[in-house]
Amino acid sequence: LGWRMGRRYVLGIESTAHTFAVAIVDDKLNVISDVRDVVRSGETLGIDPKLTAEHHANVAPQVLEKALNEAGMDITDIDAVAYSMGPGLGPALRIGATVARAIAHKFKKPLYPVHHGIGHIELTSTLLGFKDPLVVIVSGGHTSILSFNLGRWRTYGETLDITLGNLMDMFARKIGIPFPGGPKIEEIARKGRKYIEMPYGIKGNNMVYSGLLTYAIQLIGRTSVEDIAYSLQETAFTVLVEATERALTQVSKKEIGLTGGVASNDRLYNMMCSMAREHGVKVGRLEKKYNSDNGVQIAVVGMLYMKSGYAPVPVEEAVIKQRIRVEEVEIPWR
């Protein structure tokens, strides 16, 4: 155990949606272990909250054990436990929170509830080494432009209806592609040649995507699916990049951190880079595995809480909040 002397460790549990994950990080934010188990959507194409929770409950013991084994640690070696408190699917969130509370109670460990979006934000800025970025979260749960101001991450633009991830997944479902549809749509869009004009929804720094989805669905069968996917991506991403540019001029940051599952899309990344270059701003994103849900982002935020001396939450107050917004969360470490 010599190598472990003086080090502190946080175990993070993620269960907001499709992924049940456990990770351990040390106080230098090194990843010691990172284990995930993603629910298969099967024939239904979408995410069923009840089936997802059943999946998480079934895999939780193995995922936890594997994370400890990978780290060569015993649960008693952990200094604190963090879990994603929301936003997300209630039944799925409850599994992660229950496991976290059980560990905290039985082994007398400090417990930190973590906002899932802040997990995306802090992991991205930490690993990219961005000190004060504008953050763009694009996933199934979020499509938001955020900046840190007066002690909290604040929203400077967001979708007014569906998220960018939902847009991709819902269109994909209509052409028979199961969840998650985004990666496959990216592939199909690469073969598109003709740009079809589509409804372009932006209000201030906010995006509107449902009209675009309806329009794209109505085109199915009337023109090539490659051209629809291509035009859908071009339109949806242009709206996001334009909203980001508007936000950027308001907060004047020098870095943009792109995160969430859709950040893995190369076309989106390149469009964001072209816009940022004009403003002398740097864009960064993490490798794919850290864009989608994982336990590392939760453990990292737990470690940031612990290192900043923030009071842990008593087990009986460690709840889940399905609709919690980033603004509701105090950030003691920035």
Q: Which is nearer to ligand ATP, 71 or 138 (CB)?
A: 138
Number of residues that bind ligand ATP (CB under 6 A): 24
Contact flag: residue 147 with ligand ATP (CB under 6 A):
no
Whether 261 contacts 16, CB under 8 Å: no
Contact flag: residue 265 with ligand ATP (CB under 6 A):
yes
Contact flag: residue 201 with ligand ATP (CB under 6 A):
no
In the complex, the smallest distance separating the C-beta of residue 69 from ligand ATP, rounded to whole angstroms, is 25
The tokens for 292 are: 């989608």
The tokens for 198 are: 């589509």
In the complex, the smallest distance separating the C-beta of residue 90 from ligand ATP, rounded to whole angstroms, is 13
Whether 242 contacts 236, CB under 8 Å: no
Contact flag: residue 169 with ligand ATP (CB under 6 A):
yes
In the complex, the smallest distance separating the C-beta of residue 75 from ligand ATP, rounded to whole angstroms, is 26
For the chain, the farthest-separated pair of C-alpha atoms sits apart, in whole angstroms, at: 67
List the 111-115 sheet strands across, edge first: 31-38, 19-26, 9-14, 80-86, 111-115
Please give the torsion angle defined by the CA atoms of residues 102, 106, 110 and 114, in that order, rounded to the nearest 10 degrees: -10
| Binding-site string for ligand ATP from residue 85 to residue 124, where x marks contact by CB under 6 A and - marks none | ---x---------------------------x--------
Q: Which is nearer to ligand ATP, 18 or 285 (CB)?
A: 18
In the complex, the smallest distance separating the C-beta of residue 86 from ligand ATP, rounded to whole angstroms, is 9
Burial of 43 (0-12, 13-18, 19+ CB in 10 A): exposed
Q: Comparing C-alpha atoms, which of 201, 266, 277 is closest to residue 235?
A: 201
**Given candidates 141, 192, 201, 284, which one binds ligand ATP under the rule CB under 6 A?**
141
In the complex, the smallest distance separating the C-beta of residue 257 from ligand ATP, rounded to whole angstroms, is 14
In the complex, the smallest distance separating the C-beta of residue 278 from ligand ATP, rounded to whole angstroms, is 24
**Given candidates 15, 139, 205, 231, which one binds ligand ATP under the rule CB under 6 A?**
139
Contact flag: residue 144 with ligand ATP (CB under 6 A):
no
Binding-site ranges for ligand ATP (CB under 6 A): 16-18, 88, 116, 139-142, 165, 168-169, 180-183, 186, 260-262, 264-265, 292-293
